[in-house]
Amino acid sequence: MATVTMKLPDALAVRLKAAVKRRGGSQSALLREALEAHLTLENESRSGTCLEIARDLAGSLEGPRGLSTDRGHLRGYGR
């Protein structure tokens, strides 16, 4: 098992000690669980197609329709 050393802001260190006291166990065990959960969630949230990732954004903007197909919207662009 690899060893990792890290520095924590004082407020976070206090919260970590309180969580360890409530749950029991060790700081190392709690940090391993938290890191595993974070990395798993990050990995799951980035998987999928672009549509699946941005599905909640579809239809959230207002503006002219057909921007990708109506060349009239590009008239004068770049001049």
Q: Tokens representing 78?
A: 């770049």
Eight-class DSSP state of 41: H
Write the DSSP string, 32-62: HHHHHHHHHHHHHHT-S-HHHHHGGGTT---
This prediction has a pTM of: 0.54
Q: Using one digit for the tens of pLDDT, what is the confidence trace for 4-16? A: 999 999 999 999 9
Residue 63 binned pLDDT confidence (cut-offs 50, 70, 90): confident
Cα separation, 37 vs 41, in Å, equals 6
